[in-house]
Amino acid sequence: MARTLDPSPLTAALERAARRHAEARRREAQSDLSRIELAMLLRRFGLAREPVSDAVAAGDAAGLPEAESASLRARVRGELDLLARLARRRDPRYDINRHMAAMRLARWLEDGRPWHAPETPPGSGCSRNQRFRRAPSRQSGSRPTR
């Protein structure tokens, strides 16, 4: 009687390895796209080519020259103000994607956190709405008199 080999463990191991490999390639591609996005935003707001390449390579706003960093912050703030006005007026020129990109760039410039830092999860609505919960009701006897 011939024994047959069960290929299921090998198949499962190969599937796991393929998933890990695909996820690693996805993360690598996302990192490249993120660097390209940062470079494009910095160029759009008028930063010269050399400081852009240095900042993108470092992934940190601290490497930008101070004078250019200050003018870049001012331009980004002006863009955010313009986008906020367009959003309030429901202007058809408003672009939410542009607003989100400008907000990310402003946070990168102001907070000094890395560009590739993952966004913090927003948390549940219940945890965020605790601040609106009323204080426990007082006993009727402890009310202050008028």
pLDDT at 60 over 80: no
Answer whether residue 75 is part of any domain: yes
pLDDT at 25 over 70: yes
Distances (CA, A) of 82 to 46, 76, 77, 130: 17, 10, 9, 33
Task: Say if residues 48 and 55 touch (Cβ distance below 8 Å).
Answer: no
How many domains does the chain fold into?
A: 1
Answer whether residue 14 is part of any domain: no
Mean pLDDT over 56-85 rounds to: 86
Mean pLDDT over 13-42 rounds to: 86
pLDDT at 18 over 60: yes
Closest to 114 in 3D by CA, of 61, 75, 68, 51: 61
Answer whether residue 65 is part of any domain: yes
Residue 22 has what pLDDT?
92
User: What does pTM read for this prediction?
Assistant: 0.60
- Expressed as residue numbers, the domain containing 93 is 19-114
